[in-house]
Amino acid sequence: MRPRLIPRGLRWYSVDSATNQAHAISTKQQLYTTDPITPGSVFFLPHGTRIFNKLVQFMKHQQTRYGFHEVITPLIYKTKLYQQSGHWENYRDDMFKVVGHDSSKDDGLHEYGLKPMNCPGHCMIFDKFERSYNDLPVRFSDFSSLHRNEASGALSGLTRVRRFHQDDGHIFCDMPQIESEIENTLKLIKDTYKVFGIDQIEYFLSTRPEKYIGDVATWDDAERQLAAVLDKQGQWQERPGDGAFYGPKIDVLLADAFGKKHQVGTIQLDFQLPQRFNLKYVGEDGNHNHQPILIHRAVFGSLERFFAILLDHYQGKWPFWLNPRQAVILPVNESHIEAAEKLQQRLSGDIVSNEADLAPMTGHHFYVDVDKRSDTIGSRIKEAVQKGYSYILLIGDKDIANGTVAIRSRDSRKVENKSADEVYAMFQQLESNYQ
């Protein structure tokens, strides 16, 4: 399908316009904070960390399903690594530099760079061992923190930061595997966004910029392959000259519940880094000089920025599986506090309530609080709704006698009576179905 051209640099929507609202929700729910002492870096508070970790856990499970192997790579490298990768020439003004000791130099010092991306480190890992065509594709994932020296005037909440995390993935493959790897990545992107109620997705192919590395023929071949995959997805558009300096890319835009569009996911085809790092594998013909192709891909992109999008998307009404406040138990009066605390332990899941000395490696963990203040039930229910708890549970004399609990949702006043086991089973099902 012939793409419709759009001007270079055009963006449908900037999440910066939602920063103030997101910050207000975050302050109310105590999710994150910032401080001038470390501009562009976020302090995730306990409740915000719960959401952040759920997003990471979700993506780690998806990565495993798609054959990725997680690695942990260094935070700093000597600048010669970035000189080899080409980032130093093209990106050094956006990098943080640090000085470290080096006994091999006369002055005992050496300049290092805080990593702004993971790909050079993943190339090093690939190159540490002999690889065969039978090993391909080799897929690495990495959730390490990254640092980019954004201009101080451009910093904004979670959407424009200096320290961030990506659901970073790199695929080393050969030419015939490109199409299936990109198709799998696009499927993962679509399935992931659907979990968050997002099914309006647009695709953009960013082509060779004015400043690039490599030869034109290689760029043209890469762009043709990406266009062929996009043709299978249906409609797509082209962003002429908007590719990265090392290869063309597919950008994915999503529309949230309010119809606002955000650029999040990306797939980057790269013939340049394998060449610069002289990466090789043994082919089926026994030749040791076959060079892999590198695919960079991210689904969430920056986790901080995706967090901000979800803040705007849900307006603080998190779905149960993602909610840092999943349920609150309200004892009617002091005589019901002990029963409420026992119910809390039961509903919190087997990671917390397991009677063994050590928590199990796998299991359920739900965030359940007890509000045992002496305020009226009506007042406590109102505050629980304002705080965004998914479910509110009431326990009194009748509930204790019947072995049940009265439960209502955040968005409905309808009250049901369920046993603790029934509530726990409901929580498990909600989490399993990403509801």
Q: Tens digit of pLDDT for each residue in 310-335?
A: 998 899 999 999 999 999 999 999 99
Distance CA 293, CA 296 (A): 10
Cβ atoms 412, 400 nearer than 8 A = no
Cα 9 to chain center, whole Å? 24
Cβ atoms 168, 266 nearer than 8 A = no
Encoding tokens for residue 159?
């959407």
115, 122, 162, 168: the catalytic one is: 168
pLDDT for position 45 = 96
pLDDT for position 102 = 76
Distance CA 208, CA 192 (A): 29
63, 166, 272, 344: the catalytic one is: 166
Q: What is the mean pLDDT of each run of 10 residues along the chain (435 residues)?
A: 38 47 85 93 96 97 96 94 88 87 73 93 97 97 93 83 94 91 93 91 92 82 87 90 86 83 88 92 95 94 93 93 98 95 94 86 94 94 95 96 95 94 97 96
pLDDT for position 5 = 40
Task: Enumerate the β-bridge partners of residue 163.
Answer: 147
| Active-site annotation holds for 147 | no
296, 325, 387, 410: the catalytic one is: 296
pTM of the model: 0.90
The residue written with tokens 């942990």 in the block is 72
148, 208, 380, 387: the catalytic one is: 148
| Active-site annotation holds for 208 | no
pLDDT for position 106 = 65
Cβ atoms 237, 5 nearer than 8 A = yes
- Of the candidates 347, 335, 340, the one whose C-alpha atom is nearest the C-alpha of residue 371 is 340
| Active-site annotation holds for 148 | yes
pLDDT tens digits for range 266-305: 999 888 899 999 999 999 999 999 999 999 999 999 999 9
pLDDT for position 218 = 79
pLDDT for position 13 = 38
pLDDT for position 281 = 97
Residues whose CB falls within 8 Å of the CB of residue 176, separated by 6 or more in sequence, listed in order = none
Cβ atoms 237, 251 nearer than 8 A = no
| Active-site annotation holds for 166 | yes
| Active-site annotation holds for 435 | no
Question: How many Cβ atoms sit within 10 Å of the Cβ of residue 394?
Answer: 21
Domains of the chain: 18-75+115-314 (3.30.930.10), 77-113 (no CATH), 320-433 (3.40.50.800)
pLDDT for position 2 = 38
| Active-site annotation holds for 413 | no
| Active-site annotation holds for 296 | yes
pLDDT for position 107 = 67
122, 139, 249, 387: the catalytic one is: 249
Task: Enumerate the β-bridge partners of residue 250.
Answer: 205, 267
50, 119, 142, 173: the catalytic one is: 119
The residue written with tokens 């999040």 in the block is 264
23, 50, 131, 170: the catalytic one is: 170
The residue written with tokens 């647009």 in the block is 202
- Of the candidates 412, 415, 376, 387, the one whose C-alpha atom is nearest the C-alpha of residue 326 is 387
Distance CA 95, CA 35 (A): 21
